[in-house]
Amino acid sequence: MLIVWGVYALSAAQLVRALPLRKTALVLITLVLSARALGGLYLATGEHSVWGNSALFWLISSLLCLGYGATFLIGLTTRWKRL
């Protein structure tokens, strides 16, 4: 999944050919990553033990998703008119 999302990012940067539904896909990717980050941070801060993962796992993976989501958001906002 991350490979496909990366190809969409490269498409937005015009490093590979234009992909179908590029703008829609990039918005959805940004939303999914942001939702995962926020949900994971919620799980990391509580007494939740979801699927046997520790709070440290949820914290680190959520921060990674937050970074990816922020990167997609920055790219999306700077290239919006050219997509």
Provide the pLDDT confidence category of residue 45 given band limits of 50, 70 and 90.
confident
The predicted model gives 32-49 an average pLDDT of: 87
Kindly state the percentage of the chain with pLDDT values over 70.
96
From CA 14, how far away is CA 27, in angstroms rounded?
17
Residue 71, pLDDT score: 97
Q: How many CA atoms lie within 13 A of 54 on its CB side?
A: 3
Q: How many CA atoms lie within 13 A of 50 on its CB side?
A: 14
Please give the structure tokens belonging to residue 36: 């995962």
Provide the pLDDT confidence category of residue 46 given band limits of 50, 70 and 90.
confident
Global pTM reads: 0.89
pLDDT at 55 over 80: yes
